[in-house]
Amino acid sequence: MRKVFVSLFTFIITIFIYMNCVNASSFEMKVNADKDIINPGETIVLTVGISNIEMDNEGIDLLLTNISYDNNVFENIDENDIKALGQWGGLLFNSNNNKLIIERNIQTRSDEEVFQISLKAKDNIEVESTKISIQQSQSTDGNKDIDGIDANLELKTKKYYNKFYIIGAIAIIVVIIIAITGIIIYKKKKGGK
């Protein structure tokens, strides 16, 4: 009798776990940029969207996310650098922690673009690539909070070489050339007497 009870209990737990996995709610974040390479002082536009929405109820109409980027590459962003797209609006952005909340008029299950971010590169970039992440995203299906899958974007950068370093290097080369030329002329004059 005990074996039957243990078997029945195991079967019920297995079914319960399977149903929770099958009915799990989820969504994915996606991000892309209008440029593949970032030049110093240049502004790039990131488009952030949602995809693969699996919700128990109607879909997504609220999104909370975190925008992560390298402050050594990009200037700080504020709410004016972010633009809601389509039926998304009611955007709130906290520039202290880069958290964003945005809402939609009606719920959606469709893959769609949600907002755009304008990021201005600093004039002095000292890395060859940088990573931008849309992470810690959450929404709700009306019953519980749903964690989204992060989106990451790796971009190449063009390093900035301070023009004063370049001018200094050219000046040193010119001085060396003049010195070598002077030595050669001096030796020719001395050897010619």
- Tens of pLDDT, residue by residue over 125-181, are 888 899 999 999 998 766 778 889 999 999 998 875 555 666 777 888 888 998 888
- Supply the mean pLDDT for the chain: 84
CB 133 within 8 A of CB 13: no
Choice among 69-78, 84-93, 137-146, 149-158 with the minimum mean pLDDT:
137-146
Q: What is the band of 107 on the pLDDT scale with cuts at 50, 70, 90?
A: confident
Non-local CB neighbours of 84 within 8 Å, separated by 6+ positions: 90, 91, 102, 114, 115
Cα-flanking dihedrals φ and ψ of residue 190, to 5°? -70, -40
Residue 189 has pLDDT above 60, yes or no: yes
DSSP H stretches of helix in the chain: 2-22, 163-192
Report the b/e string of 28-48 with b at 16+ CB within 10 A: bbbbebeeeebebeeebebbb
The structure tokens listed for 63 are: 């999104």
Q: What is the dihedral of CA 4, 9, 10, 11, to 10 degrees?
A: 90
The CATH class that applies to domain 26-160 reads mainly beta
CA-nearest of 96, 111, 129 to 48 is 111
The residue assigned the tokens 């909340």 is 101
CB 81 within 8 A of CB 117: yes
Q: What is the pLDDT of residue 32?
A: 95
- List the beta bridge partners of residue 47: 32, 116
